[in-house]
Structure formats: C-alpha cells, structure tokens
Structure 1
C-alpha cells in the first residue's frame, strides 16, 4: 500500500523517521499494526497551526483533524480525554464531551499541563501515543477523511494517515456528533 499523501506535502514512512516524532508517538507506532500506513511530513514549525498549514500547502480544511485535551471532575475523580475532531468543526466540550466523561464541567487542559503529561509539544499534540488512562474520543467524521493530517507530537512535522485508522488507534471510541 502506498504511503498516504496530500497536496504538496512530502510523505516519508513515519517509522523510518523517529527524529520527526515525539518519543510517545515513536513508542506507540512501534507496537501498532497499522504503523506502515502512517506517513510523516516535515514542516516549518511556524506552520504547525491548522490555519497556517492549510493555507501554506493549499490543503482542504476538512483533511485536518485536531486533537484537544479535556478534563473534568466528579466526586473528586478527574477524567481526562483527548477529543479528535475535523478542523472545520469544534469539539462540543460543554455538552457532548461533558456527558461522555460524566463530569459536572469539562474544560480544556491547561497548555503547560497538556504538554507535560502528554510528552508532546503544544501545536503538535496527537492522538497517537497518549498516556494510558486517558480516553480517546474520535468524532465519526474523522474516520471518513481519506487522508487525515494530524499532529506528530512535535511542531516540525505532521502525520498523514487514513482517517479510518485514527478510529482504530488503541482505546479509540468512535463518537457521532462529538463536534459541532
């Protein structure tokens, strides 16, 4: 199977380029049967944010998927989840995510905490290689993307993979209407 590619992004086999990935991503890919279907593309870190990337490489916004980290508490227990949604949508944190986590209030994880606990850089956080114990909620529309552009754990690259494989990451829960 050829490596996923999109636009003018240069696709390289992700497993052959650990220097372009955060350590947790390297570890996760090492044990994942679909790792051979994942490409990495090197980018200017200034283009890590979705809007800049899509403009610079003339990519459709619907090809990118963003991973946001959310937390909430109930009864003194904190629950953390990564929510993966298409870039042209926003995670429904105040309703859908809150109900899925069964918490009183859900909010975005503070950036410094998200970076520290994920082992990934801000602007590069990805659903690949998240800490054990975090839920991974994937909007069903992400699974429909032919070639999805997601973070690589670092700002200087992105991963390319079929959207259906995002939904097959370990622990992934496919959720209808996770985003609005």
Structure 2
C-alpha cells in the first residue's frame, strides 16, 4: 500500500514539474498590457475611411441645418418658456434681500455680543483684582500662592449698549 502511495505521489510531483516548466517556456505576450494600434493597419481600406468621414460630415451638415431651421421657425420647441423667467427672477431677488437682511441682523448680534464679552472680561478682571487685594491684605484663600502684587481697586462699571442705525442695502 505504501508503494502505491509513493508511486502516486511521485507521479503527481512529475505532472506538477512538467506543468511549471511548460509555463516557463511559453513566451509572455506584451500585448496584454497595451493595445497595439499599428497591428492590422496595413489591412485598413483608406477608401472606407474616406467614405465614413464623408458620411459623418453629411450628418453634421444635416443636423446643423435642422437646428437652424427649428431656431428660425419654431423656437418655442427649443428655447425655455420666457413667461416663467420673470417670476423666477423676482423670487431670486426676494431671496437675495432676505439673505442680506439676515446678514445685517447677524452683524448687529455680533456687535451686542462683543460688548457683552468685553463686559464679562472686565468683570473677571475685577474679581481677579479683588482676589489680589485680599492677597495683599494677607487674607489669601487657602492653597493660593501669596505673591506681592499691586492692589487694583474694584470699579463698578456699567456699560450702555446702543444699537447702531442699520443701513438698508439698495440693490
């Protein structure tokens, strides 16, 4: 049984070796990577190419004549309905005006928030100044470093925020 198995394995190994060697001997074709446009060019009939060029030229001439005739005689079938263009233009103008109004409103809000942010920054600076006064007096909070900084008096500052007159864009 083992002799049959060894003969079978030897035969299988021989078939595999022959197959590999046959593939190595076969030349690899370089034409699989690129198309050779010159291949078969000597069999092309130049008369057929000239006829095809003439046919395509005639088609172009006919198509352009038909389009010119339609534009001159029946332009409604090719061009858009001009009655719809004016309402579309008005709607686009309204959208543009709304966008500009929103942009100016956003600018007003930005100005208001700028004033509020500066007020908050001053309040934070005032609190920090108040903490510095406590440190200078020797009543620093626990865990805070006791550095000698000049004391800043706390000021009660109120700001009046005015709205700038909005200019309407004339478009």
Q: For the superposition of Structure 1 and Structure 2, which TM-score range results when normalised by the shorter chain?
A: under 0.3
In terms of fraction of residues, the more strand-rich structure is 1
Q: TM-score, normalized by length of structure 1?
A: 0.16
Q: TM-score, normalized by length of structure 2?
A: 0.16
In terms of fraction of residues, the more helix-rich structure is 2
